[in-house]
Amino acid sequence: MHKIFSKSIKTYPLQELVDIKSLGNNYCLKVDCEGGESSLIDDEDAEKIILGAAHVATEIHCAYKGNIKGERFLTIGLPKVEQYLSWLKRFEKTHECKWTENILPIRGTIVMTRKDLRFK
DSSP, residue by residue, 82-115: HHHHHHHGGGTTTEEEEEEEEETTTEEEEEEEET
- Residue 89 confidence (pLDDT): 92
pLDDT surpassing 90 at residue 95: yes
**Where do the H-state alpha helices sit in 1-120?**
14-17, 20-23, 44-52, 81-88
Is beta strand 55-61 parallel, antiparallel or unpaired with respect to 71-75?
unpaired
How do residues 28-63 score in pLDDT, each as one tens digit? 888 887 777 888 888 888 888 888 889 999 888 887
Tell whether pTM > 0.85: no
The domains of the chain are located at 2-114
| Residue type (1 letter), 118 | R
My answer on whether omega of the bond before 13 falls inside 30° of 0, hence cis, is no
Determine the 3-state secondary structure of 40 from DSSP.
helix
Nearest-5° Cα angle at 45, 60 to 116: 75
How do residues 96-118 score in pLDDT, each as one tens digit? 998 887 766 677 888 999 998 86
